[in-house]
Amino acid sequence: MKLAAFALLASLLAAPVAAQSFRDRLPEDEVLYFLLPDRFENGDTANDRGGLNGDRLATGFDPAAKGFYHGGDLKGLIRRLDYVEALGATAIWVGPIFRNKPVQGPKGHESAGYHGYWVTDFTRVDPHFGTDADFRALVDAAHARGIKVYMDIIANHTADVIQYRECGNCGYRSRAEFPYARKGGLAGEAINDGFAGDGVQTPENFARLTRPDYAYTPFVPAGEKDAKVPAWLNDPIYYHNRGNSTFAGESSTMGDFAGLDDVMTEHPRVIAGMIEIFGKWVDRGIDGFRIDTARHVNPEFWQAFVPAIEARAKARGIPNFHIFGEVADPDTSALARHTRVDRLPTVLDFAFARAVNAVSAGEAGTDRLAAVFAADSLYEGGEATARRLPTFIGNHDQGRAALFIRRANPQASPSELLARTRLAHAMLLLLRGVPTIYSGDEQGFIGDGGDQDAREDMFASKVAVYNDNSLLGTDRANAVSNFNLDHPLFREIATLAKLRRAHPALTRGRQITRFAGDKPGLFAVSRFDPVDGREVLIGFNSSARPWTGNVEVDAGSAAFTALAGSCPATATAPGSITLSVPAFGYAVCAAGKPQ
């Protein structure tokens, strides 16, 4: 890495406020950096095969195939903490690191658990990523820099181990057609005498659920009898066993997620077991949980799980433990419902992502953003909760912001695509919420789609469909290591992260919309310092043409300083400022003390 570049970024990122413990920072103070360990950096080639022998179907390792392990690990992440810190990230969201089933899938369509979501052992680090000691070293090294570590966890499902006697790829069987009280359907043998259904979530009731063959006849193959840890997870009675989810109706919380064993999270034993599993990871000093597939779990589970984990964190001296669920829905009312009904503290803001990508691509007017923020009051806790929602513009499932922008503008020049992507990142870093950077976005990665096509390696890739990609803002390719501190998007994000951290209005500040329209153009908000009330006006121009006009501000905001872009020195009149923003540009204007 270039020493001059590091020195420059170190000066940019110098803490603007008095030193404080990283534990004191509120969730909204963070800038998150999300990565999949397998695709980030290979620090130890000795663990590439996870201690297993054989070909890729035995070890899961094939660095030339996008659906298999590539060799990234925890030692590699530790080695790149300088890079993460230089970007301005204050917390790392690490993809699941639990031991996974190495390979699964039908013959000819196998893939590996490189992503971490096919868990067999919830208590240990997967050997492909290193050891428990490596994870401890990561947490200690990050904390020494004031960087928090968030874990990606799964309570909804495990790896695909349980099979059904009746079929392979089994369709969902409902409670109405296949009740708990009959074996294999309404006319079947009477079973589970006295069980009052999964809605009565008491140990006494679930003690009467003794047979899991109400819908299908589940069994565990002989070679996998003890595949899961803790041991209680090997018993089919703790799973729904109703076949594959259609992701609608009751199957959304009771069906197998694409064949993965769906845990019966209504069961008191499961609730207690999951609290204990993940509570022990809290004991290791981590700072937050991202919860995978949270909407596919019944609300009562989260109502018990969240307060237990928060209490455990506080007891360990972690007062601001950040919990956010994955609710993959761009509808703000659906997102908010999971904070009110499930009592999840926060959820990933899919509505924000959809709106920013549409606006920055020029597909929608800026009123699309205004509509998202107008719904902030729907969340439990209202606008205060909205400020803690992790926001993002690309991820490992759906794809990257640059991809969505390019799809909407297939004839655009590379310079226009870069400018629009810069604008999207400015929105991410300056608007309310907790900005989450997906690794590779800061290096101009575009990708070819979602899922495996959005999971390119940061280290030199051997995957042909990655290496033929063009990148924004650089002549480099995925075939070489991409940790370039001079990349224009890296520098933009680092500068914005520094600006955000320097001004409490941009982290904890109340936000109100000042200007929006039904076509590409200006979107403007004011954010207010939570202590002294100073206003910071932020304007974004999503149009290919410069924008000039008048924007409302507080009447007491008379003099302005440009924190980014160009700002007038004074208000045009009490309550109004004349703002000029270049095409795909933005401006951040800080007012003096209110008069």
d(CA 205, CA 40): 47
Gap between the Cα atoms of 515 and 525, Å rounded: 7
Same domain, 170 and 214: yes
Scanning the structure block, which residue is given the tokens 């140990």?
203
Please check whether residues 451 and 551 belong to one and the same domain.
no
Statement to judge: residues 303 and 349 lie in one domain: yes
Domain assignment present for residue 23? The answer is: no
Q: Is 89 in contact with 437 (CB distance < 8 Å)?
A: yes
pTM of the model: 0.95
On whether both 205 and 227 belong to a single domain, the answer is yes
State the pLDDT at residue 18. 35
Q: Between vectors from CA 441 to CA 469 and to CA 20, what angle results, nearest 5°?
A: 160
Count: domains in the chain:
3
- Dihedral of alpha carbons 71, 75, 77, 83, sign: negative
Q: Is residue 344 one of the residues assigned to a domain?
A: yes
Whether 258 is in a domain gets the answer no
Q: Which of 465, 500, 535 is the last residue of a domain?
A: 500
CA angle 305, 92, 320 (to 5 degrees): 45
- Two structure tokens written together for 59: 């070890």
Instruction: Specify if 411 maps to a domain.
Output: yes
**332 and 218 within one domain:** no
Contacts of 39 (CB under 8 A, 6+ apart): 70, 72, 114, 439, 455, 456, 457, 458
- Asked if residue 479 and residue 421 are part of one domain, the reply reads yes
**d(C-alpha 240, C-alpha 247), whole Å:** 15
Query: Which pLDDT score is estimated for 168?
Result: 87
Q: Which helix (H) or strand (E) holds 306?
A: helix 299-315
pLDDT at 17: 36
Active site residues per annotation: 292, 326
Q: 496 and 530, same structural domain? A: no
Q: Is 436 found in the same domain as 301? A: yes
CA torsion through residues 399, 400, 406, 408, sign: positive
DSSP for residue 316: T
**Does the bond joining 230 to the residue before it have cis omega, within 30 degrees of 0?**
yes
Residues pairing with 262 in the sheet: 157
| Same-domain check for residues 320 and 337 | yes
213 lies in the same domain as 74: no
CATH number at residue 575: 2.60.40.1180
Last residue of a domain, one of 245, 276, 294: 245
Check residue 10 and give its pLDDT: 41
Evaluate whether residue 2 is within a structural domain. no
Q: What's the token pair of residue 434?
A: 């907790």
Dist. CA 417–CA 408, nearest whole Å: 10
* Residue 9 forms part of a structural domain: no
Provide the residue range defining the domain that includes 234: 160-245
One pLDDT digit (tens) per residue for the chain, 595 residues: 343 443 444 444 433 333 469 999 999 999 999 999 999 999 999 999 999 999 999 999 999 999 999 999 999 999 999 999 999 999 999 999 999 999 999 999 999 999 999 999 999 999 999 999 999 999 999 999 999 999 999 999 999 999 999 998 999 999 999 999 999 999 999 999 999 999 999 999 999 999 999 999 999 999 999 999 999 999 999 999 999 999 999 999 999 999 999 999 999 999 999 999 999 999 999 999 999 999 999 999 999 999 999 999 999 999 999 999 999 999 999 999 999 999 999 999 999 999 999 999 999 999 999 999 999 999 999 999 999 999 999 999 999 999 999 999 999 999 999 999 999 999 999 999 999 999 999 999 999 999 999 999 999 999 999 999 999 999 999 999 999 999 999 999 999 999 999 999 999 999 999 999 999 999 999 999 999 999 999 999 999 999 999 999 999 999 999 999 999 999 999 999 999 999 999 999 999 975 5
**Core vs surface per residue 352-391: b (16+ CB within 10 A) or e:** bbbbbbbbbbbbbbbbbbbebbeebebbbeeeebbbbbbb
My answer on whether 464 and 549 are in the same domain is no
**Lookup result for tokens 């936000």:** 511
pLDDT, residue 594, reads 59
List CB contacts of 405: < 8 A, sequence separation 6 or more. Answer: 357, 360, 361, 412, 417, 420, 421, 424
Query: What CATH number is associated with residue 476?
Result: 3.20.20.80
Q: Which single residue is written with the structure tokens 């009052």?
A: 196
Tell me 167's DSSP state.
Answer: B
The reply to whether 219 falls in a domain is yes
- Please indicate, yes or no, if residue 250 is contained in any of the structural domains: no
Q: Are residues 214 and 285 in the same domain?
A: no
